[in-house]
Amino acid sequence: MPTEVRSPITGDVIGSVSLASREAAAESIGRAHEAFLDWRQVPAPRRGELVRLLGEELRAHKASLAKLVTLEAGKIVSEGLGEVQEMIDICTFAAGLSRQLCGLTIASERPHHRMMETWHPLGVVGVISAFNFPVAVWSWNAALALVCGNAVVWKPSPKTPSTALATQALFERAAERFGGVPAGLSTVLVGGADLAELLADDPRVALLSATGSTAMGKALAPRVAARLGRSLLELGGNNAAIVCPSADIELTVRAVAFGAIGTAGQRCTTLRRLIVHESIHDSFVARLKKVYGAVAVGDPREESTLVGPLIDGQAFAAMQDALAAARGSEGVVTGGERVMVSGCENGYYARPALVEMPGQTDIVRRETFAPILYVMKYADFEEAIALHNDVPQGLSSSVFTRDMQEAERFLSAAGSDCGIANVNLGTSGAEIGGAFGGEKETGGGRESGSDAWRNYMRRATNTINFGNDLPLAQGVRFDIE
């Protein structure tokens, strides 16, 4: 069944793609499982070679894939390129990692015994990704999953299927150059929630890695759990920054602008709450208002544009609802109105909104996937941290300060409760080298760098006896003679 693809830039239909039926999806999972059975026996560094080749294809086609990201997700040119760069970076990382999938060697309490850990491939990895990072999120999962010896079945957002199909085509080129890649090692299934549920329910999907809203995670995770499968969740954020009296104001303004306005507020790491010390609050807000009033909203293909469109009319309506709720709780809203862009009249463009809030009301505690920044005041640093943590989500966070004590307190066990905590930089735009993800309703998953690869493997503990006796652990005696 074909479905229309629209560009958020103009709201126009730019193509159509076929939706995968449930039967076809189940068949793809089956083929992926068959592919896994072969792929797991290919030496990991050789698997890394496939991912290195994928990185080469991405490098060669960076500009055109980025253009497609711009067209389909509405990202500005530089952010579209940045998204593909993240893909290239994770391929480089994963190719190196393919020679470092190592476990521990552990001292045994028994004489002439040795213990060690071996990491084995896991199985089929299901990847569900969102419209806002239509291809990078797949690559964080797929690059690691593939070097770890797994097969990948990808259900991209139905709002951005073309970028997924283009990425799959690049994968196939890399596979062809590699030679002998088992059929079905990586597949794309275009479809909606029914296919996500199918991936969640199928016991052949060893790991389901899902990126998107908390509501989506809450719907899928229990299904995976019901079959005692594994899930890796990267869900909603409600990221905040604390701006302290000693902060470098110019640096902070730039960081806040990129964090809150960049990607039209449609990153899971977007800065959504700002907690500013009362002594600098008014001057800081005045400075921000100037930026908000001047920032270029428009066609993301134009070099001067910094804020492109929202993904669709629904996103714009959700933004307006949130602003109405904020006004209803005595919030003072600057911006937030629709911007009509010539030639793009059916696109939904909005001026980013700055909302001065008297406190952290219900609407502030919710994630609205739009460029809305709620600003609140604080007097005492501990109070700021409490406010910071008093939301259901726990993805990314920042403190802006030159005071070492404040910085360290923010990073300490009693500080930010997020998976990402930064000092003097924004909440968004993380590098692939670190583990990416967050706590609480963000879902607890970690993707991308550091040791996130372990999510994509199963651990075996091995004990080897190289002696002639059979000593038992814990000194247990069991003499049968």
Site track 257-286 with ligand UN1 (rule: CB under 6 A), x = hit: ----------xxx-----------------
Task: With contacts defined by CB under 6 A, name the span among 8-16, 218-226, 379-387, 424-432 that binds ligand UN1.
Answer: 424-432
Which residue bears the tokens 């929630």? 193
Active-site option among 57, 72, 83, 234: 234
User: H-type helices in 128-277, by residue range?
Assistant: 136-147, 161-178, 193-201, 214-226, 249-261
CA 258, CA 265: separation in Å to the nearest integer?
Answer: 9
The residue from 428, 442, 444, 452 that contacts ligand UN1 (CB under 6 A) is 428
CA 76 to chain CA centroid, nearest Å: 19
Q: Residue 102 catalytic?
A: no
Q: Residue 236 carries which side chain, given as an amino acid letter?
A: G
Q: Which helix (H) or strand (E) holds 278?
A: helix 278-294
CB of 205 to ligand UN1, least distance (A): 21
Which residue has 């990221």 as its token pair?
A: 239
Residue 133 binds ligand UN1, judged by CB under 6 A? yes
Comparing every residue's Cβ against ligand UN1, the nearest one is 430
Q: Tell me whether residue 268 is one of the annotated catalytic residues.
A: yes
50 or 257: whose CB is closer to ligand UN1? Answer: 257
Task: Round to whole Å and give the CA distance between 471 and 280.
Answer: 69
Query: Interaction with ligand UN1 in 5-34: which residues (CB under 6 A)?
Result: none
- We find the least distance from the C-beta atom of residue 214 to ligand UN1, in angstroms, to be 13
The stretch among 17-25, 112-120, 163-171, 426-434 that binds ligand UN1 (CB under 6 A) is 426-434
Determine which one of 91, 148, 244, 268 is catalytic. 268
Return the structure tokens found at 145.
Answer: 């999953």
Of 119 and 131, nearer to ligand UN1 (C-beta) is: 131
CB 234 within 8 A of CB 268: yes
Q: Which residue, 186 or 211, is less far from ligand UN1 as judged by CB? A: 211
Q: Can you tell me the distance from the alpha carbon of 453 to that of 142, in angstroms, rounded to the nearest whole number?
A: 10
- Helical spans, DSSP H, in 329-396: 381-389
Cβ proximity to ligand UN1: between 80 and 429 the closer is 429
Q: Residue 439 CB, nearest distance to ligand UN1 (Å)?
A: 16
What are the C-alpha distances in Å from 247 to residues 250, 401, 423? 9, 4, 10
The nearest distance, CB 82 to ligand UN1, in angstroms, is: 8
Our CB check for ligand UN1 shows the closer of 132 and 401 to be 132
Short-list 107, 393, 378, CA closest to 245: 378
Among 10, 160, 209, 211, binds ligand UN1 (CB under 6 A): 211
Q: How far apart are CA 148 and CA 145, in angstroms?
A: 5
Contact 337, 320 (CB under 8 A): no
Is 378:244 a contact under the CB 8 Å cutoff?
no
Is residue 160 involved in binding ligand UN1 (CB under 6 A)?
Answer: no
CB of 73 to ligand UN1, least distance (A): 11
Interaction of residue 131 with ligand UN1, rule CB under 6 A = no
Amino acid at 476: V
Structure tokens at 299: 């066609």
Judge whether 384 and 416 are in contact, CB under 8 Å. no
What minimum distance in Å lies between the beta carbon of 77 and ligand UN1?
17
Min CB(268)–ligand UN1 separation in Å: 4
Is 401 a binder of ligand UN1 (CB under 6 A)?
A: no
Q: Which stretch binds ligand UN1 (CB under 6 A): 31-39, 249-257, 275-283, 422-430?
A: 422-430
Q: Which two tokens stand for residue 440?
A: 């609480």
By beta-carbon proximity to ligand UN1, the closer residue of 35 and 142 is: 142
The neighbouring-strand residues paired with 375 are 274, 356
Give least dist CB 250 to ligand UN1, A.
Answer: 22
The H or E element containing residue 405 is helix 404-411
Using CB under 6 A, which of 288, 363, 430, 452 touches ligand UN1? 430
Q: Would you state the structure tokens that stand for residue 427, as one six-digit string?
A: 């909440």
332's CB contacts (< 8 A; 6+ apart) are 355, 356
Q: Which of 149, 236, 371, 429 is close enough to bind ligand UN1 by CB under 6 A? A: 429
Q: Which is nearer to ligand UN1, 28 or 442 (CB)?
A: 442
Binding mask 52-71 for ligand UN1 (x = CB under 6 A): --------------------
> Per the structure block, which two tokens stand in for 186?
């990586």
Q: Is 132 in the site for ligand UN1 (CB under 6 A)?
A: yes
Please report, as ranges, the residues that interact with ligand UN1 according to CB under 6 A. 86, 132-133, 137, 211, 267-269, 428-430
Q: Which residues are known catalytic residues?
A: 234, 268
